[in-house]
Amino acid sequence: MMRKKMRRIVPFLALAALPAWGGTVYMTFNQHATRNLFQTRDAVADRISAFSLAIDQDFSALSLVAKAEYSAFQETSGLSSFAADIGLDYLVPSGRKSAFYFAAGGAGQFYQQIYGSFSSLGANLLGAFKTYLAPSSILKLQWQGQYAVYRDSLFDFLSHRTSLSIDKYFPSQTTLKADAEWGYKYFLHPFLPELMLEPAASTSMAALTGGGGMGGPGQSVADSGGSGAGWGGQRYQGGEGFIPRYSNSGGGVGIGHLSVSLLAAQGIGDVIGLSASAVRQWIVAGENPFLSVEEFYFVQNPSADSFSWEGDQLTGRISLNIPWDVTLKTGYTYADRTFPGVESMSLDGVPLGLVRSDRRHLLEARLQKDFRRLSVFVAYSYIDNTSTDPLFVWKSHFITGGFEWNLPAGRRKGGA
């Protein structure tokens, strides 16, 4: 089934690359294996094959970037998706040590079956300024705005992030960097109308969802016009834990954060790179509009992202440059995150009176070998997640292997 789909999509993607004459074409293939696709205590294993094709074409200071990707899930085929992404970049020098960078793009992601609710169309804008305060110190300012509409309109949003960073390199091969970010995400209409509830059951969502969750696989979101159902609810096999809120007030709701991060990096000779970083994030406005958030492996689940939490994150990394163009990177991350507005529930769906809070240990390693036009890699991750919500207490392994191949599609040689 999966091979058949890949056979269909590869010629289409190859054809899409033909106009890239004079640019560069990038082809990647990644094979993923996970024991826990939905990242809950009820582990569901899957294998994912992802093929992508990207083109990059320069027209003076303007660049066109386009990418198409097809991801095939072997077991949970409803999560198989096609994604397309197109964007324009524009670089504007401001003197010899500063520049502005502008980018605009559009993206679409299309799922099938019960996960059709995640299908989306979006647009994004980016503006950035970078300047050298001194040869060894860089200041960067960036603003990014995003708008997305989903097939299930509960997830429609408008967001922006503004960030400022400054760094300094020292002759001891030490780099220090400080970052600050303010972000705000506004869900345009995240609530279900209360009239959909039976009066007797309106006091508790949890009582309603119980062990069976919201809706089932056969319930069409398109039919209900944005119901928040259709991909399951708490403990529903194959899409777990998502519970929307009910309100007749209408309108949207926003969640805003402020974060600061510090990074220290140290080079040891030409072979070893060490880095340590710490992030602290506060929710400064609003809270999550949904009663639950959930993350899936490899899938951008619209109920959870970097806007949905507050807390701390500590990361340590080692990078080794081994001979023959082989790079080994390993890292450890500890994250302590709380999700304001999200309630912890027992496995039977009874509210525990606690805001959901997770502690996560993440180990990562990646080995990459670079050839002239081909990079081959294998990566491994292990996560140990504990949570005040027992559904999200889990441990799992993730393995990925793949390659990226790039080739110039034109005859350019020399300067550019």
Q: CB-wise, 29 or 169, nearer to another protein?
A: 169
When the beta carbons of 30 and 227 are compared against another protein, the nearer one is: 30
Q: How far is the CB of 211 from another protein (least distance, A)?
A: 30
Whole-number minimum distance, CB 300 to another protein, in Å? 6
Point out which residues pair with 231 in neighbouring strands. Answer: none
CB of 126 to another protein, least distance (A): 6
Of 227 and 281, the one with the shorter C-beta distance to another protein is: 281
φ/ψ (deg, to 5) at 264: -125, 125
Q: Least CB distance from residue 246 to another protein, whole Å?
A: 31
Cα angle, residue 68 at apex, residues 159 and 2 outer, rounded to 5° = 115
- Shortest gap between Cβ of 265 and another protein (angstroms)? 8
Question: Which strand (E) or helix (H) includes residue 132?
Answer: strand 120-134
- Which is nearer to another protein, 272 or 285 (by Cβ)? 272
Residue closer to another protein (CB basis): 113 or 136: 136
H or E stretch covering 207: helix 205-209
Cβ-based nearer residue to another protein, 138 or 391: 138
**How far apart (Å, rounded) are the C-alpha atoms in residues 342 and 149?**
23
Q: Shortest Cβ distance from residue 198 to another protein (Å)?
A: 39
Query: At its nearest, how many Å lie between another protein and the CB of residue 163?
Result: 11
Q: How far is CA 281 from CA 264, 275, 306, 311, in A?
A: 18, 20, 10, 5
Is the CA virtual torsion 7, 9, 10, 14 positive or negative? positive
Structure tokens at 258: 């402020």
Contact predicate 97/27, CB 8 Å:
no
**DSSP letter for each residue of 214-280:** S--TT--HHHHTS-S-SS--TT-TTS-----EE-SS-S-EEEEEEEEEEEEEEEETTTEEEEEEEEE
Q: How far is the CB of 27 from another protein (least distance, A)?
A: 13
| CB 91, min distance to another protein, A | 5
Of the pair 75, 325, the CB lying nearest another protein is at 325
- Give the pairing of strands 326-345 and 310-322: antiparallel
Q: Give the SS3 label for residue 376.
A: strand
Rounded to a whole number of angstroms, the distance between the first and last alpha carbons of the chain is 43
Query: Between residues 26 and 236, which has the closer beta carbon with respect to another protein?
Result: 26
Least separation in angstroms between CB 180 and another protein: 17
* 3-class secondary-structure state, position 200: helix
Among residues 224 and 375, whose Cβ is nearest to another protein? 375
Euclidean distance between CA atoms 320 and 328, whole angstroms = 5
CA atoms of 259 and 249, how far apart (whole Å): 31
Q: How many of the other CB atoms lie within 10 Å of CB of 205?
A: 22
Give the residue with the Cβ less far from another protein, 69 or 343: 69
